Amino acid sequence: MNNIYIIGVGLIGGSMALDIKSKNKHAKIFGIDTKMSHLEDALERNLIDEKATYADLKSADLVVLSIPVDKAVLELPKVLDVISDSTLVIDVGSTKGPVCKAVENHKKRRNFLATHPIAGTEFSGPKAAIHQLFQKKTNIICEVEKTAFKLQEKALQLFSDLGMRIRYMNSEAHDKHIAYVSHLSHISSFMLGKTVIEKEKNERDIFDMAGSGFESTVRLAKSSPAMWTPIFKQNRENVIETLDEYINNLKQFKSLMESDDFEEIFKEMQNTNHIKDILKGIA
C-alpha cells in the first residue's frame, strides 16, 4: 500500500504516518484535515508529503480515519462513497458501536475495518506524533468478518509492521470493556484535577506539593475535551454503569474511613495489589 491518506493528522494519525514511512520507502502520505494549521505542522514535521481532499481518495490504497468519534460517524460514509473497490479504510476511534452502525448497510462496507489501537498520550495534534507509538500495543479489531478478506490481510500486515498485537471482539463488547479500562480512567483523572483545583485556590501550593503519584494520576486530565466529550456521549450507557460501580467503591472506602476500619482498608488495598500481576501479564 503506497498511497496513504490520513484524515485527521494528529497524535494517532501522525504517529501512524511516521511509522508507515519508516517501514515503506515507497509510501506517499497525504493529509486531510479541517485545520490548515495541522496540515502545515504535518508538512513541516515530515508526517505527510502533500495536502489532499476527499476528491483525491479515489487513488488511495489506504485511508486512516483519525478524527473525533462524533465526526467519524458522519465522515466515514462520505469516504466510502468516493474510494475505489480496492481501497482499505480503517478508523482508530475509542468507540466502535456507533461507527459500525453508521455504515452497516453501505455498499462498500466490505472496504472498512473497525479498529482501535490502544495507544496514545495525553497530548494531541501533529506536534504530539511520535515514532513507534504502536510498538507492542494492542489493536482491537471489530466485525472483522464484514471486511473483504484480501483487505483484512493488508490490514494485518500493516499492523504487524507497526508492531501491534491483535485482538478480535464485537463492537458491543469493545465499548463495554473500554469504558472500564480507558474511559473511566480519564473521568477519574479529570475529576481529581477538578477537585484539587477547586480546593487549592493557590496554584503554587499544588505545584510545590504535587509528587509523582499526583502527576501520574492526573496526567490524563491534560487530554483534549474536544476528543473525549464525544467519546463519553457515544458510550454513555457503559460509562454510567462503570461510574456507578466506581462511586460505590469510593463510598465504601469512605464508610470504612468513617468507621475507623483500617484493617479492612488494608485488606481492600492488598487485594487490589493483584492488579500489578494482571498488568505484568499484559506487558
Q: Across residues 182-209, what is the average pLDDT?
A: 82
> How far apart are alpha carbons 95 and 144 in whole angstroms?
15
The predicted pLDDT at position 277 comes to 76
The predicted pLDDT at position 210 comes to 67
- Looking up residue 55, the CATH number of its domain turns out to be 3.40.50.720
Please tell me whether residues 91 and 104 are part of one structural domain.
yes
240 is in which domain, residue-wise? Answer: 174-282
Among 121, 114, 116, residue whose Cα is nearest residue 142 = 114
Spatial contact of 92 and 67, defined as CB atoms under 8 Å apart: no
> How far apart are alpha carbons 250 and 42 in whole angstroms?
43
The predicted pLDDT at position 211 comes to 67
| pLDDT 10s digits, 90-145 | 999 999 999 999 999 999 999 999 999 999 888 889 999 999 999 999 999 999 99
Please tell me whether residues 150 and 244 are part of one structural domain.
no
Question: How many Å is the maximal CA-CA distance in the chain?
Answer: 68
* Count of domains for the chain: 2
218 has a pLDDT exceeding 70: yes
All cell numbers assigned to 19: 511509522
Please tell me whether residues 134 and 183 are part of one structural domain.
no
Please tell me whether residues 132 and 15 are part of one structural domain.
yes
All cell numbers assigned to 35: 485545520
Final residue of a domain: which of 169, 190, 212? Answer: 169
Please tell me whether residues 136 and 52 are part of one structural domain.
yes
User: At which residue does the C-alpha cell 481529581 appear?
Assistant: 192
pLDDT tier, 274 (very low <50, low <70, confident <90, very high otherwise): confident
| pLDDT 10s digits, 40-79 | 999 999 999 999 999 999 999 999 999 999 999 999 999 9
All cell numbers assigned to 108: 462498500
Q: Which amino acid, 30?
A: F
